[in-house]
Amino acid sequence: MSDSSSPERLLEQNVFDEWPDAARTLFDGSSLASKTGFTASLLTVDANGHVRTSLLGAGELYAPDSRSLCVALWPQSRTARVIGQTGRAALTFVCDEAFYQVQLRLTPLTRVTGDDSGLVYLIGSIDTGEAQSVRYARLTGGITFELEGDGKAVLDRWERQIEHLKQAAAAASR
């Protein structure tokens, strides 16, 4: 991790190619109920130069190791289609009082037995990541949400999705 800040600079920028501890904990697939409300933006650029965004929660993101991220997407989403063509995306989120932007190279994962979710699973390696913060303001959150209705059903679905991401990531590493 490098720090491009100096005493004169207000912007602190850390560049990384491995998940910092706070981000790795966020994407470890555990304690999903405590991570409800967290939102990350997965951004792609299509052939026409249009930016496409999918908003993802903690139940759709899993880091199997310090340099990778698994993602669960609906196959009909524009973001999934663009990733299928380019293999590239950027993930942005707020964590540990900093704004993160992580450039990812993504490839499909094989479906796991018993998964009837219809989701597409991808695994991405970190091309480069940046965490930015400023000394005069503290980021307290990014895009957040509250579950409506049967929140337990969503958490149960997330648990299954994370388990499928873990199985697919493990099968890919063999």
The number of folded domains in the chain is 1
Supply the pLDDT for residue 5. Answer: 45
Question: Which has the closest alpha carbon to 100: 165, 161, 27?
Answer: 27
Whole-structure pTM value: 0.87
Q: Token digits for 29? A: 């697939």
The phi and psi torsions of 62 (rounded to 5 degrees) equal -150, 125
Give the 3-state secondary structure of residue 110: coil
Q: Domain range holding 116? A: 2-172
Express each pLDDT in 112-140 by its tens digit. 888 999 999 999 999 999 999 988 888 88
Q: Token digits for 113? A: 């037995």
Express each pLDDT in 41-65 by its tens digit. 999 999 999 999 999 999 999 999 9
96, with CB counted inside 10 A (0-12, 13-18, 19+), is: middle
CATH number (domain holding residue 69) = 2.30.110.10
d(CA 12, CA 1): 12
Cβ-based neighbours of 148, under 8 Å, separated by 6 or more: none
Supply the pLDDT for residue 8. Answer: 53
Express each pLDDT in 61-108 by its tens digit. 999 999 999 999 999 999 999 999 999 999 999 999 999 999 999 999
Question: Which has the closest alpha carbon to 165: 101, 118, 122?
Answer: 122
Supply the pLDDT for residue 137. Answer: 85
